[in-house]
């Protein structure tokens, strides 16, 4: 009889531990998920129909039924969705604990393709990555997690390639997102295209240039697997296509101003020691043109290099903590 009781007790302990482990698994604060990406189906270069996102839930997520604002984060070229940890890591958790910032859901979105980066734009060659963000990721987040489903409670952030993407998607969809933080964004001033092309060529960044061309200068009638217009500074039409990627800032601002809704807040940060000098020039030019068009913007030179670390990422979380209005 004693042996039966001991066996029964042992079984209860095992069941309790299993339930506890299951609960911990269900209640994990970091969710690495593959979601359906119908927006990416049908492009010339094939994409996976399921794409990675990494969701970082706030510390108190499982302690109440409260809903939270959301930061959507775009990684840099050549990086992965896990770059979001720079933003949502230990430093952020300490800031929440110390009351420096409010709790937010932070989502890393994959933008990596066979070239190392999609630039999160729509292209018949590389796929509709902007649509993936707007039509696939946001609805999934709103359906699956306790988000505050209002544009004023959604923000876009990104570094380098992702910094450009945050601006580009924010300018195209101010009815869905209201706050943008761009760190060392890929932007051209009036000489940026020439300066960047010379640097890319000097450092033999062929794969990057192919990815950039496939995104911004697609050629659906291409042959031999080359479905883009390669850089040619003697061809005005090709130069115009390439320029329209990171450049053409004045026209983009005018298109943005013509929209019925505007962003509530824009923050641009860079470091004046950036290896890519054209990014510094482009960021400063962008800020200057926003101000010239009476569009409110905050800018900051952290005087460092082309980098995202915990200190710089803290600027992002502080910005959004202040930008998101009190629960409505």
**Mean pLDDT value of segment 304-324:** 94
Residues comprising the chain, all counted:
328
Q: How far apart are CA 181 and CA 36, in angstroms?
A: 27
- pLDDT, one tens digit per residue, over 118-147 is 999 999 999 999 999 999 999 999 999 999
Task: Quick: pLDDT tens for 268-291.
Answer: 999 999 999 999 999 999 999 999
**Closest residue by Cα to residue 129 from 99, 161, 86:** 161
Q: What is the pLDDT of residues 211-229, one digit of tens each?
A: 999 999 999 999 889 999 9
Which secondary-structure segment (H or E) carries 36?
strand 30-36
State how far Cα 17 lies from the chain centre: 38
> For the chain, which domains are there?
29-189+247-323 (3.40.50.1820)
Of the chain, the percentage scoring pLDDT greater than 90 comes to: 87
pTM of the model: 0.91
Q: Per residue in 147-166, pLDDT tens?
A: 999 999 999 999 999 999 99
């Amino acid at each position: 009889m004693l042996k039966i009781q001991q066996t029964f007790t042992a079984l209860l302990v095992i069941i309790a531990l299993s339930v506890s482990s299951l609960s911990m698994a269900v209640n994990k604060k970091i969710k690495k998920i593959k979601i359906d990406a119908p927006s990416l189906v049908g492009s010339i270069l094939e994409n996976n129909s399921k794409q990675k996102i990494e969701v970082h839930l706030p510390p108190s997520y499982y302690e109440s039924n409260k809903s939270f604002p959301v930061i959507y984060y775009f990684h840099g070229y050549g990086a992965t969705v896990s770059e979001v940890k720079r933003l949502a890591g230990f430093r952020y958790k300490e800031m929440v604990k110390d009351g420096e910032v409010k709790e937010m859901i932070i989502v890393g979105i994959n933008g990596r393709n066979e070239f190392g980066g999609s630039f999160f734009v729509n292209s018949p060659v590389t796929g509709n990555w902007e649509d993936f963000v707007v039509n696939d990721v946001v609805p999934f987040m709103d359906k699956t997690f306790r988000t505050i489903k209002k544009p004023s409670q959604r923000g876009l952030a990104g570094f380098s390639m992702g910094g450009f993407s945050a601006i580009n998607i924010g300018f195209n969809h101010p009815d869905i997102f209201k706050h943008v933080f761009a760190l060392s964004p890929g932007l051209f001033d009036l000489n940026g295209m020439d300066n960047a092309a010379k640097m890319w060529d000097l450092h033999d960044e062929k794969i990057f240039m192919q990815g950039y061309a496939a995104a911004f200068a697609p050629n659906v009638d291409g042959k031999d697997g080359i479905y883009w217009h390669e850089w040619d500074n003697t061809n005005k039409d090709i130069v115009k296509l390439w320029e329209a990627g990171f450049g053409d800032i004045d026209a983009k601002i005018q298109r943005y101003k013509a929209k019925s809704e505007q962003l509530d807040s824009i923050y641009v940060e860079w470091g004046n020691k950036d290896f890519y000098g054209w990014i510094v020039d482009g960021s400063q030019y962008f800020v200057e043109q926003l101000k010239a068009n009476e569009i409110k913007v905050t800018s900051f030179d952290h005087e460092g290099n082309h980098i995202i670390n915990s200190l710089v990422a803290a600027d992002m979380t502080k910005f959004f903590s202040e930008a998101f209005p009190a629960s409505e």
